[in-house]
Structure 1
């Protein structure tokens, strides 16, 4: 069967979806916080005992410092969560910017905010650590969901999955790895071969994740 160009484009634009409901918040382990590059600390802020975070391996017991006119004192850098507590994270939007907010929750459901950092900074650090250079090039914006877009070349007839070269398959695997981590996302991918300069000719890539 001979397909018209538009029909061929629609048929061979590959779509991979994980359509679970985006979570309002997610529980995670202390080791995840460390992977993000932060230590959990028990100490004092302006003389009051509480929990907070600092860049990993930069603070030790007894350290005192000031940030944004708040005085911090480190009592202990924790290797495990305090008893009867859990860690949760969610995304908040402030004036068009997405922030990852991490909270320590006790058995009475009282939340202590320990971290508030731009979501884009954490995502870029994750990509760099996992050597996902293609995703760094494709990232466009980050909110509660994130969007990736890439266009390269003039298009033509997209390849079927069976005919994709290894470079295209590796790219799909790298994106789907992130999708698996988040539990929610969509990838649309059309590969048209190589440009005259030998570069991958990607006609369209749109990817959204929570």
Structure 2
């Protein structure tokens, strides 16, 4: 079982979230998630997903092939949480809050998941078909299932090309499933913990943040500064 450790980035403070139950003000509101034709396998419920309305996913860091109809392409972390009740509030984290079917609650992202999503977001994932259509749909399903395998949501299938890829990268499945915050390499991938307006926990999605979320922190600092100036006036 993965270590129960979670690091939250919360507005200006970007401080640590001690427990999943201590829910601060959201980092973003009005988030929506859809699936775009040609980018996912219609025969099942996994990614790719198109996430819109967040302040994250700098287009300078995402490949153009992973920026679709005003949003960025992402994948889900849990198999037993869903996307009803939109729009969502979102929090940046390094873990899936409820943890899904296995892996702990909260369940930190694995190093393999972080690395695969980084490669995907940058448009460099080996073997991934980035051309919309049947090839991309098949790639999306294989990557989604590999992420679920690395997050203990699905039994490992060693024939999955992305499982083979992370085993080769990290020297074994156990290494690829290790918490990515507990090893030296840090691919600055985060979970976005989504909640509906009534506070119901929803799916956790992935986002690539090469700056570690500093854009959001600076935005928060600017807003706080304006608030202080107005208070003094």
Shorter-chain TM-score range = under 0.3
Would you tell me which structure has more strand in proportion to its own residues? 1
Would you tell me which structure has more helix in proportion to its own residues? 2
TM-score, structure 2 as length reference:
0.24
